[in-house]
A and B are shown apart, each in its own frame.
Chain A
């Protein structure tokens, strides 16, 4: 499916956003990229660098409602509470399922290391077994607990693993009235593409707040895979934050809608929340 960049009011009202955009630091009005002429395209690497350099708080807590909608419109709903904290360069994320009852108390923990050559560590608590399972982080392209986001998407939030792609800025564009840079990302190797499940990604990155408002994914065979839109972007504690993410999976016709609430940055979070014991105890 080709991305729609029509700027009519109706369409632009619902269009365009990034990967798992959650948050983004605001840019100052004197940003040199914004000030430059549209034809002076920044390099893809520099755009991605700005996306990844966004301040997104040392800690983050938020509630997340997931809606999973199949091709016949049947809807499933999950409610979670998530926590994220930076330990230096290392990012730790914990997600606790609150409902529905049949998956309540399931919990997911990941340690995302800054070193590109170090695999992340991931754990999943399964209440039916009452055990924390160590799970491989290498199959990053697997879909996360029934959603249309992959484990990699969930882990990176709105950021992009720069080491996995080559980038090229295609053009400047406008999404919902916002100036964006359209950046193409191509996996650096077939092996990485297979791991990620993506053969090509195109991002419509807001040139002011450095969030991708729309992201198109193709699979490793070059077929359209899914479209992610980041919506309801608002500033919280000085950090631009997307409160709604929508994914349309073109091959399965499955949809996922993430709605974030109670988003709070830089609250004090106990380090012990990011441990196996905490997964077992739950919230």
Chain B
């Protein structure tokens, strides 16, 4: 459970409350949102919207379903979560070509199994961390940016999401923003992607479009801590300690230089002879800490010290997309210059080795059937300088399939998604039905089923299969 020790109110708390108050004031005081045809009034009025969403996740694991009293540390109850989320948004057209956008999220979970402990603060910079209101509720500023056009340049200044890539559900280039893995990869990227404070400029250069950005925000992935429902345990992601040797894990060392440790990147885009093409470059800290390992010898015997650190890397890549009849071909490729991996050799001074990593994904979407879209993607990555002593293979191959069909003039959507790791033979299957009862009320029901080797990326959550019932109200 989270700490109950009183602590001083930090600046970020005050900031969050001020922002919440602004939203509340704007919601109450602002005139009604202008209509789409009310273009003359649009620049002068803030437009306030909000939505409420909820979802209830029930375990499909038979043992837990039979015994609802079962409640182990890993969340072995019939109920995985019951979340309620309020999402206010503000859009304020301040003048021609200038807009202020903000969004917040107030989220509460009745069961507190997804994040049973406090966020350690190691992954999030202080200006970004959600404000915790008790054990089960958090308030987060999701986005707050000013978008303005100055000449040919579009500036976006503030907390924002920068999304790259053409793949669905498989990330090669969509790594500019970190991600919250509280529900592994089950939460929508829109919700799990962590916005960052950044300065971004977009400018057309002849037939090209250039997007360049600078990110001083040193916030990285939020990974579930020990005891969380989706705690990551796969030895492929978390190095196993040598048997019989005690392990001390030190707090992660975060970069702390505002300028020297900031990220930067750019994307060049062009539409050429039917092809959508981009060239991408990103100089950044990888969002997952590298667990450096040292072996200490003391009077009581050897001890392993694990020191998670964040490491810089260059990412160079590109994307493509085109259509051929009923089919869309799309893909992305990325080369990471500095990928750090664990090695098993205890004599290695820090237990990690550096390698390059090449990753790509290619996908085909089919539109040949009425109201139906199908999609297949193949993902592959491999270390280009694989060191000796890797505990696993130096590459991964995954396949994904998607089938989506709409009914009743798109009021009803049925979707099947399948992700399969060809090396470990584990995977995830998802089925979901969404129904728009009205323009404002959406109902959803779905199941998520993990399968395969418990050491696998997906198989580690084999006991986390779930039924999800949810919905959203967007007046």
Residues of A that sit less than 8 Å from B by CB: 63, 65, 68, 70, 74, 76-77, 79-81, 98-102, 104, 119, 121-123, 127-131, 133-139, 141-143, 145-148, 197, 252, 254, 261-262, 272, 275-277, 281
- Please state if A134 and B165 are interface contacts (CB–CB under 8 Å): no
Please judge, given known A-B contacts A98-B36, A102-B439, whether A136 and B163 are in contact too, CB under 8 Å.
Answer: no
- Please state if B190 and A100 are interface contacts (CB–CB under 8 Å): no
CB contact between A275 and one of B35, B209, B321 (< 8 Å): that residue: B209
Contacts of A138 in B (CB 8 A): 323, 325-326, 367
Closest CB of chain B to A136's CB: distance in Å? Answer: 4
Report how many A-B pairs have Cβ atoms within 8 Å.
123
Cα(A133)–Cα(B367), bound, Å: 13
Closest CB of chain B to A104's CB: distance in Å? Answer: 8
- Please state if B411 and A119 are interface contacts (CB–CB under 8 Å): no
In the A-B complex, the 7 residue pairs with the closest CB atoms? A146-B410, A101-B474, A79-B36, A136-B367, A100-B439, A134-B321, A130-B163
Extra A-B contacts (20), CB below 8 Å, given A68-B409, A136-B327? A63-B36, A100-B474, A101-B51, A101-B440, A101-B475, A102-B472, A119-B323, A123-B276, A128-B190, A134-B328, A135-B328, A137-B323, A142-B371, A146-B406, A148-B409, A261-B37, A262-B37, A276-B269, A277-B154, A277-B269
CB contact between A76 and one of B147, B367, B439 (< 8 Å): that residue: B439
- Please state if A147 and B209 are interface contacts (CB–CB under 8 Å): no
CB contact between B408 and one of A70, A101, A141, A277 (< 8 Å): that residue: A70
Cα(A146)–Cα(B435), bound, Å: 13
Contacts of A77 in B (CB 8 A): 439
Cα(A6)–Cα(B323), bound, Å: 46
Interface membership of B85, Cβ < 8 A = no
- Please state if B442 and A102 are interface contacts (CB–CB under 8 Å): yes
Contacts of A261 in B (CB 8 A): 37
Cα(A48)–Cα(B411), bound, Å: 35
Interface membership of B365, Cβ < 8 A = yes
Q: What are 7 pairs between A and B in contact, CB < 8 Å? A: A63-B39, A77-B439, A100-B439, A134-B328, A136-B325, A137-B323, A146-B410
Contacts of A129 in B (CB 8 A): 163, 168, 189-190
Cα(A121)–Cα(B271), bound, Å: 10
Q: Which of B151-177 contact A (CB under 8 A)?
A: 154, 161, 163, 165-166, 168
Interface membership of B299, Cβ < 8 A = no
Cα(A256)–Cα(B431), bound, Å: 30
Closest CB of chain A to B39's CB: distance in Å? Answer: 7
Please judge, given known A-B contacts A141-B370, A275-B209, whether A70 and B36 are in contact too, CB under 8 Å.
Answer: no
Contacts of A131 in B (CB 8 A): 163, 165-166
Closest CB of chain A to B112's CB: distance in Å? Answer: 27
Contacts of A127 in B (CB 8 A): 190
Contacts of A142 in B (CB 8 A): 367, 370-371
Interface membership of B397, Cβ < 8 A = no
Chain A, residue nearest B322 (CB): A134
Closest CB of chain B to A36's CB: distance in Å? Answer: 42
Contacts of B475 in A (CB 8 A): 101
CB contact between A143 and one of B161, B371, B439 (< 8 Å): that residue: B371
- Please state if B365 and A136 are interface contacts (CB–CB under 8 Å): yes
- Please state if B367 and A139 are interface contacts (CB–CB under 8 Å): yes
Chain A, residue nearest B177 (CB): A130
Contacts of B321 in A (CB 8 A): 134
Cα(A276)–Cα(B163), bound, Å: 13
- Please state if B474 and A102 are interface contacts (CB–CB under 8 Å): yes
Please judge, given known A-B contacts A70-B409, A119-B323, A275-B209, whether A76 and B436 are in contact too, CB under 8 Å.
Answer: yes
Q: Name which of B211, B365, B410 has the most chain A CB atoms within 10 A of its CB.
A: B410
- Please state if B411 and A70 are interface contacts (CB–CB under 8 Å): yes
Closest CB of chain A to B170's CB: distance in Å? Answer: 13
Cα(A15)–Cα(B411), bound, Å: 29
Interface membership of B438, Cβ < 8 A = yes
Chain B, residue nearest A195 (CB): B326
Closest CB of chain A to B174's CB: distance in Å? Answer: 9
CB contact between B323 and one of A104, A121, A276 (< 8 Å): that residue: A121
Q: Name which of B323, B368, B370 has the most chain A CB atoms within 10 A of its CB.
A: B323
Closest CB of chain B to A250's CB: distance in Å? Answer: 14
Mask of B200-226 contacts with A, CB within 8 angstroms, 1/0: 001010000101000000000000000
Q: Which of B308-338 contact A (CB under 8 A)?
A: 321-323, 325-328, 330
Cα(A197)–Cα(B369), bound, Å: 11
Cα(A122)–Cα(B442), bound, Å: 28
Contacts of B370 in A (CB 8 A): 139, 141-142, 197
Interface membership of B72, Cβ < 8 A = no
Interface membership of B388, Cβ < 8 A = no
